[in-house]
Amino acid sequence: MRSTGNVRLDEWTRTNDGLPNDAPPVTDDGAVLLDVRGLGIAFTGGAARVQATHDVSFAVRPGERLGIVGESGCGKTITGLALLGLLPAATSHVVGEAMFEGQNLVGLPLSRMRHVRGRKISMIFQEPMSALDPVFTIGQQIGETIRAHFGASRRQARARAIEALASVGIPSPARVHDSYPHQLSGGMRQRAMIAIALVCEPRLLIADEPTTALDVTIQAQIIDLLLDLSAKSGTALLFITHDLGVIAETCTRMLTMYAGEVVEDAPVDSALVQPRHPYTSGLLRSLPRLSARGAVLPSIAGRVPTPSDMPSGCRFAERCVHRRAECAAAQTIVQFGEHRVRCGRHDALVLPGALTDREAAA
Amino acid sequence: MSEAPAAAIVTVEDLRIRFPTQDRRETVKAVDGISFSVLPGETFGIIGESGSGKSTLGRAVVCLLKPSAGRILHGGTDPYSLSARELRLRRRAFQIIFQDPNAALNPRMSVLDSVREPLDIVGEGSRAARDRIALELIERVGLRPEFAARYPHELSGGQKQRINIARVLTVRPRLIVCDEVVAALDVSIRADILNLFADLQREFGLTYLFITHDLGVVSHVSSRIAVMYLGRFMELGPAEDLADRPLHPYTQALLSAEPVPLPSAMRTGKRVILQGEIPSPTNPPSGCRFRTRCPFAQAVCASDEPAWREAAPGRFVACHFAGDVTGHPINATQTEEATA
């Protein structure tokens, strides 16, 4: 390691460049870091217009870990991409607002978005191989972020990049710094991605299925790493996954999306034990651990409706075993305590969660 | 192993499969000495991390890869002792379904053509009769007959996987190797497909070799489970026993790494987080190949390869310190005693 050695980023930014170290303290409890309201995403192709998500609202507090669950096609990933302005500008239309540190991320001009991406909000993706550029070394890709946001010299960037690789548990970080992505294993690539995402100590990390492509043993390592880094730096997490076990072990809140809408938002333990939306309950009940070995697994019949064929009433009604006539009306999201749910029958229903009968009785 | 191979539908004897590396200087030992038998009507689950050789093993069982050493017997017959013609006839009873339902279907063929194709190759019956069988199976796997005219891009992942299932059923297999067949599917769809596999097993008397990295899935569907690591079995036993009382430290680590969807207060048991990654199969560690990541490793683990032994009736394990005949799991005190 060179002369700039073990300088922490916060000291380093203060001493080495003119940029203000403007991160507010992480202990501002009660304050909201990201406030998403009425976010709607539509895509156009030719004459067709498809409303992919509708009225998505949620908040992330500093240091909070929010998990978004739902089947493929429910709008989880595009919601994450929209927050960073990463949807194709020519064909996507985003309405609503996403307030982050006093500015609305929706419609934020590129010149200002560049100061947010990677510095304030970072994103990691499912497949690290396609997110990393194969023709640059890992070190060049981390260094790029540091140099873009802090105007550091190459030497400083190298030192900081090696430090970042070490902090995500990569053995021999100096060697990995000079390696190309194809020379690393899947788990190491995902660690390198996390190092790139966290090198500027962002306030929010959006993680889109970051462990789905990994083995369960490596997944456990990455989850531990994310929790550890989040606790150390106070970085909030927006964790997009379809794996309810990962959500349970990682997140403090769970947001269930269905067909482009938020249908439930609750503290994770409450959502797991006593879900209030039939869709959340259905997802939890279809897990093999709740059924006797070899028994028929409960499943949710049918499929997510396509955006071009969206029912006007409750979007889940067609697949819902608790459907009544009133479900043909559009459903609004209702809040009670820390729980929000988009189901007109939530008061009438007692739905099973992720516990076996024996666990629930205990 | 003390099973009677005569009754077995597939018997694998000290199977080894090696590939040269790209530069041809080294050898990848993908499967490195495995023996087991699959009994008719059972679901034999194989779990392990990527790179453990489980897919290679699955392909070898259906004669897509030739053993470098050792034997595979199909109902007591070595398929490689048969003439090419006879092998072609016999291997129809041994089919495989792959993980990626997209890659397994030709995008330019309609669903009906894809499902009928194996029958066209077999060349039995008239075209109309083959169409009828294909249509019946399309409906049997839970799709409406109008799907027959559609193309793969018009189907969801779950529907495509149903088509792949219908296609192998056309030739009336006895054994199907299911290689990560639900890994690419959503949770709710996954449950549907697993239920379908169970129904078909009862209806057609099928035997499955179920390869997956998903412990929830494998312990739900399997009668017996084998745990694979770097080309060898670490443990083999009845599904319940193995999941509830794992004997091998690797099995314990795999089970404890599985994220459980329970509230934090209800999650029991300490997690064993394995350090590092699976070593390269070109040069596996000496002695026990799991020792480099094993929390209980001792000097003997580096010098002696643990024997594949029956630790309790029907429960096989390759570990110097795994539980004895009473089947209690390994713990720290035990390993200390062992070295004392």
**A27-40 average pLDDT score:** 82
The answer to whether B107 and B153 have CB atoms below 8 angstroms apart is yes
B172-198 pLDDT, tens digit per residue, is: 999 999 999 998 888 888 899 999 999
Residue A8 has pLDDT above 90, yes or no: no
Q: Which of A34-48, A64-78, A269-283, B257-271 has the lowest mean pLDDT?
A: B257-271
Q: What is the model's pLDDT at position A304?
A: 87
Residue B209 has pLDDT above 60, yes or no: yes
Q: Are B260 and A217 a contacting pair at CB < 8 A?
A: no
Token pair, residue A354, equals 């992720």
Split at pLDDT 50, 70, 90, the class of B223 is: very high
CA distance B174 to B170: 12
**Which is more confidently placed, B323 or B304?**
B304
CA A240 to centroid of chain Cα atoms: 4
Query: Which CA distances in Å does A334 have to A75, A254, A264, A282, A283?
Result: 20, 16, 9, 20, 21
Q: Which of A139-143, B163-167, B262-266, B268-272 has the lowest mean pLDDT?
A: B268-272
A239-269 pLDDT, tens digit per residue, is: 999 889 999 999 999 999 999 999 999 999 9
The answer to whether B194 and B217 have CB atoms below 8 angstroms apart is yes
Residue B336 has pLDDT above 70, yes or no: no
Which residue of B50, B261, B271 is in closest CB contact with A287? B261
Closest CA to B218 of B200, B236, B199: B236
Q: What is the model's pLDDT at position A29?
A: 52
Per the CATH hierarchy, to which homologous superfamily does domain A9-251 belong? P-loop containing nucleotide triphosphate hydrolases (3.40.50.300)
The answer to whether A163 and A157 have CB atoms below 8 angstroms apart is no
B95-133 pLDDT, tens digit per residue, is: 999 988 888 999 999 999 999 999 999 988 999 999 999
Highest mean pLDDT pick, A129-133, A150-154, A158-162, B183-187: A158-162
Q: Are B259 and A243 a contacting pair at CB < 8 A?
A: yes
Average pLDDT value over all residues in chain B: 89
Token pair, residue A311, equals 């029912």
Q: Are strands A236-240 and A253-258 parallel, antiparallel or unpaired?
A: unpaired
**A338-342 average pLDDT score:** 95
Gyration radius from chain A CA atoms: 22
Residue B145 has pLDDT above 70, yes or no: yes
**Which is more confidently placed, A292 or A24?**
A292
**Domains of chain B in sequence order:** 10-244 (3.40.50.300)
Query: Which CA distances in Å does B63 have to B66, B74, B117, B171, B210?
Result: 6, 10, 20, 16, 16
Split at pLDDT 50, 70, 90, the class of A136 is: very high
The verdict on B50 touching A (C-beta cutoff 8 Å) is yes
Shortest CA gap B218–chain A (Å): 9
CA distance A247 to B59: 34
Residues 98-157 of B with CB under 8 A from A: 156-157
Q: What is the model's pLDDT at position A16?
A: 39
Which residue of A283, A288, A354 is in closest CB contact with B220? A288
Which residues in chain B are contacts of A247 at CB distance < 8 A?
261
Split at pLDDT 50, 70, 90, the class of A195 is: very high
Average pLDDT value over all residues in chain A: 88
A290-338 pLDDT, tens digit per residue, is: 888 888 999 888 888 888 889 999 999 999 999 999 999 999 999 989 9
Which residue of B50, B157, B273 is in closest CB contact with A220? B273
**A62-81 average pLDDT score:** 92
Q: Are strands B224-229 and B175-179 parallel, antiparallel or unpaired?
A: unpaired
What percentage of chain A reaches a pLDDT higher than 90?
Answer: 65
Tell me which of A185, A215, A270, A306 to substitute to probe the interface with B (most B C-beta atoms closer than 10 Å). Answer: A215
Which class for A313: exposed (0-12), middle (13-18), buried (19 or more C-beta within 10 A)? middle
Which residues in chain B are contacts of A220 at CB distance < 8 A?
257, 259, 271, 273-274
Residues 203-262 of B with CB under 8 A from A: 213-217, 219-221, 239-240, 253-254, 257-262
Domain range list for chain A: 9-251, 278-361
